[in-house]
Each structure stands twice: as C-alpha cells, then as structure tokens.
Chain A
Amino acid sequence: MLLASLEVPPINHLIRWPAFWFKDNAYFAVNKVVLLMWIAVLMVSAFYLIGGRQKKLVPSGLQGLAESAVDFVREGIILQTMGSEGLWWTPLMLTMFSFIFALNIFEVIPIAQMPVNARMAVPLLLALMVWVLYNAVGIKHQGLFGYFKNIMFPPGVPVALYVLVTPIELVSTIIVRPLSLSVRLFANMLAGHLILVTFAVMTSALLGAGVFAVLSPLTFLLLVGLTGFEVLVAFLQAFIFTILTGVYIGGALHPEH
C-alpha cells in the first residue's frame, strides 16, 4: 500500500510532553514547554540588558537590533493605536511583543520545535493580564460608572437600538475579548505546529513507500516553504496580540464621545 506507514500521531502526542523534573508534583512539574518558557524569559531579558548596556550614539550590533525593536513597537504599534499618550506603556508592550515572539519562534527552531503558545496556559494568562489592565485603566480614567456607561451606551446610536447594542457590547467587551485574544494566539500556533508535523510525517512516510519515494522531495519542499510561512505567522501573531492590547488600553484611555 502506498501510505501504509502514514499515520499522523494523535494530538496529545504532539503537544503533551512528559515531565522530567519534579515528576511527582502535579503543579510544579517541569517539562519541555516550561523549560522553553524559561529560556524565552532569559533570552528576552539578556537581549535587552546587553543591547542597552552601552548606549552608544551610533548603535551597532545588538544595540542596533534592540533599538530597532523598540522603534518598531513605538512607531508601529503604540503611536498607531494609543497616540502619543500611550508612550508610557512602551515597556509593557515591548516586553509583551518580544516574549510572545520568542515563545512563538521556538516552533521553527531545531531541537525545540514546539511553540509554547500552542498550550493554552500562556495565551490565557497573558489575555487575563490584558483584561485586568484595560478594565483597571478604564475604571481609573472614567470612573466605575462612566466606564460601564461608555461600554453599554456608546454615543451616536439611536435610542431604540440600545435594546440590541447594550447586551452585545457588554458581552463582547467583558467576556469575548479575553477569550478571542487568547484563542487567536493559541489556535494559530497550534494549527501551524500541526501543519508542520503533518508534512514532516508525510515526507517520512513517502520515503519509505518504495517507488513513491520520488514524490517525497515535493512534500519536503512544501515543508520548507511552510516553515518560512510559520516564521511570518509567529511574528504576525505577536504583533497582533500586542496591537490589540494597545487598542483595548487605548479605548479605555479615550472613550468615544
């Protein structure tokens, strides 16, 4: 049979890693995903600490890279969504962007090859953090009453439509926002991981399929192409998560009048 050896492993095989440290502890067991998360924290911290150590006037090397990252977050994300008053949030947005990107890019790094964000824990925690932040900012800037009034009764809507608009806006702002924020990141990374696994499995199955091995370069080329595409996705998802954080916090700072 052509694809006798083609068997895509079940999804629990692909994203559930056995613990190798504190094995017996249900809460603090360390597996590959946790280890990758620690490495990401160390990498991002080291990148900005070393990049910002010298502060040369004409940046070069790591400093140039770090400065262009800061510049990208400032120009591409904050000024576009929050205006110049949002610059106070630069440290949060910069670390958030870098951390998510580092977690995502593990998807295509050899040996690691597991996007940490393909497990729900990290996206969920980040989204809950954003949820607390924008609600707190909104209540602080508009008052508890004013904040909920602006959410539930957006100005410029005919009064009769409030029957429809008020519940939708309330549910979408309070419940759906954190859900969609986390699910977007999680599902994108999980889908990318599954696609890469599928094509890798297919290539190896074709290699062992006798005369059909001549087809395996095709799937391998597709695998290489998709790996490049996943680099783009990893960047784009970090960008989108950060820019949506900016939109939500910016909306809480300046309600529509």
Chain B
Amino acid sequence: MLVLIHLLAVQDSGELLKGLTAVGRGIVYGGAAIGPGIGIGLVVGNAITAMSRQPESAGMVRTTMFLGIAFTEALALFGFVLAFIISG
C-alpha cells in the first residue's frame, strides 16, 4: 500500500492529497464513533434494565437516560464536525 501511495505521489500529488483527505475524514469519524457507540449501548441497556425492574420509576429513568445519551453522543458529534473541518 505504501508503494502504491508513493507511485501515486509521483504521478499526481493533487489527486493523492484529495484521496488521503477523504481517508482521513473517514478515519476521524469512524474512530470518534466507536466509544460513543459502546457508551450509548451501555446507557440504554442499563436504563431498560432499570425500567423493567421498577416500571413506576420509568419516567425519571427515561429523562436521565436521555441526559446520558446526550453527554455520550457529544463526543461522536465532535468527530463529525472535525471530519468536515479537515481540509486537504
């Protein structure tokens, strides 16, 4: 792969820069989505456990669950915005 990149670099550096920028954007967003994906899964899973154990407190648990999702999701969204900020 490195040899390929080198060959491409010799041929046309503008195209290479564009392609590598696209790859970098993909890596940034993909990397930023891993942690929050696991985190939101944990939050919602535990919230469902709590709701099914105590259905009478479902309202409170739901509010807290959305708060937890919002805080966790923010990290993925930073990655999303960062992917757009990256420019070649």
Contact = CB atoms under 8 A, between A and B. Distances in A.
Given A80-B60, A81-B63, A187 B70 contact: no
A16 B28 CA distance: 24
Interface in A1-41: 11
A188 B77 contact: yes
Contacts of B67: 240, 243-244, 247
A190 B80 CA distance: 10
Main secondary structure on A side of the interface with B: helix
B58 to A, nearest CB: 12
Contact of B74 (A11, A184, A247): A184
B73 A183 contact: no
Interface string B76-88: 0110110010000
Contacts of A239: 66
A249 to B, nearest CB: 14
Nearest to B73: A184
Interface residues of A, number: 19
B63 A76 contact: yes
Nearest to A244: B70
Interface string B43-79: 0000000000000000110010011011101100110
B80 A187 contact: yes
A243 B63 contact: yes
B77 A187 contact: yes
A243 B66 contact: yes
A240 B66 contact: yes
Contacts of B59: 76, 80
Contacts of A188: 77
A77 B78 CA distance: 25
20 contacts: A76-B59, A76-B63, A77-B63, A80-B63, A180-B71, A180-B74, A183-B77, A183-B78, A184-B77, A186-B81, A187-B78, A187-B81, A188-B77, A190-B80, A191-B77, A240-B66, A240-B67, A243-B63, A243-B66, A244-B70
Interface of B: 59-60, 63, 66-67, 69-71, 73-74, 77-78, 80-81, 84
